[in-house]
């Protein structure tokens, strides 16, 4: 418990973090407004509420339909009983294919089962494709927000991470340039072959 209080006090006294979150708050409100412009938010909220209130039987039925469609398309669905079994299965697939790395998309499930640390402990390097997740991966942190995992980082901090981890010259005022650097780095992994 002492660690939690220490971390809270450290975050509360971190002026850069406070400024980053304040900037996020103001920018997010405008982005949120634009995202829902022209949509009936109350109808969307009701639809989400209806989905959340599905019975376990209804959810199982939807899962079975999903599984059938996925398998019909040629994929395989593995049902794990817990996070350990899921991570073990994923690593076994990687080992079977002699994979040195895994290019993965943003996944709350992967975050919840702590897939990245498990992969790393087993000699497989995870490469995040979501820019925010990748920034957090470089910083060796956990996401601070479900949708925007790096909201607590400002452009100067991101530029510093890029300099340290990618050994590139970065203009911290050129956000578009930093995005291009990230795309270039990640693209190498998308098309890399043995």
pLDDT of residue 124: 97
The size of the chain, in residues, is 194
Instruction: Show Cβ contacts of residue 194 under 8 Å, excluding neighbours closer than 6 positions.
Output: 98
**How many whole angstroms separate alpha carbon 173 and alpha carbon 79?**
46
Q: 182: helix, coil or strand? A: helix
**How many whole angstroms separate alpha carbon 149 and alpha carbon 134?**
9
**How many whole angstroms separate alpha carbon 59 and alpha carbon 39?**
27
**How many whole angstroms separate alpha carbon 150 and alpha carbon 182?**
14
For the entire predicted model, the pTM comes to 0.72
Half-sphere exposure at residue 5, Cβ-oriented, CA atoms within 13 angstroms: 2
Of residues 20 and 183, more confidence is placed in 183
Share of the chain above pLDDT 70, in %: 98
CA R_g for the chain = 20
Mean pLDDT over the full length of the chain: 88
| pLDDT beyond 90 at 120 | yes
pLDDT of residue 15: 80
pLDDT of residue 113: 96
pLDDT of residue 194: 59
Burial class (CB in 10 A: 0-12, 13-18, 19+), 30: exposed
Q: Cα(first)–Cα(last) distance of the chain, in Å?
A: 47
CA dihedral (15, 162, 169, 23) positive or negative: negative
- Give the number of other Cβ atoms within 10 Å of residue 47's Cβ: 11
**How many whole angstroms separate alpha carbon 194 and alpha carbon 192?**
7
| pLDDT beyond 80 at 20 | no
Cα separations in angstroms, 68 against 56, 118, 123: 18, 29, 33
**How many whole angstroms separate alpha carbon 191 and alpha carbon 122?**
23
| 137-150 exposure pattern, b = at least 16 Cβ within 10 A, e = fewer | bbbeeebbeeeebb
């Amino acid at each position: 418990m002492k660690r939690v209080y220490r971390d809270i006090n450290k975050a509360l006294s971190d002026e850069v973090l406070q400024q980053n979150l304040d900037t996020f708050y103001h920018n997010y409100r405008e982005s949120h407004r634009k995202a829902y412009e022209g949509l009936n938010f109350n109808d969307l909220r009701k639809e989400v509420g209806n989905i959340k209130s599905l019975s376990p039987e209804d959810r199982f039925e939807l899962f079975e339909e999903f599984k059938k469609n996925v398998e019909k398309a040629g994929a395989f669905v593995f049902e794990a009983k817990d996070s350990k079994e899921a991570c073990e299965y994923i690593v076994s697939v990687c080992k079977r294919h002699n994979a040195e790395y895994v290019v993965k998309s943003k996944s709350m499930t992967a975050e919840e089962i702590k897939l990245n640390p498990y992969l790393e402990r087993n000699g497989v390097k995870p490469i995040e494709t979501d820019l925010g997740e990748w920034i957090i991966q470089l910083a060796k942190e956990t996401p601070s927000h479900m949708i925007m995992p790096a909201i607590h980082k400002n452009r100067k901090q991101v530029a510093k991470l890029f300099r340290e981890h990618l050994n590139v010259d970065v203009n911290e005022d050129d956000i578009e340039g930093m995005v291009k650097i990230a795309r270039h780095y990640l693209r190498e992994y998308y098309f890399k072959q043995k």
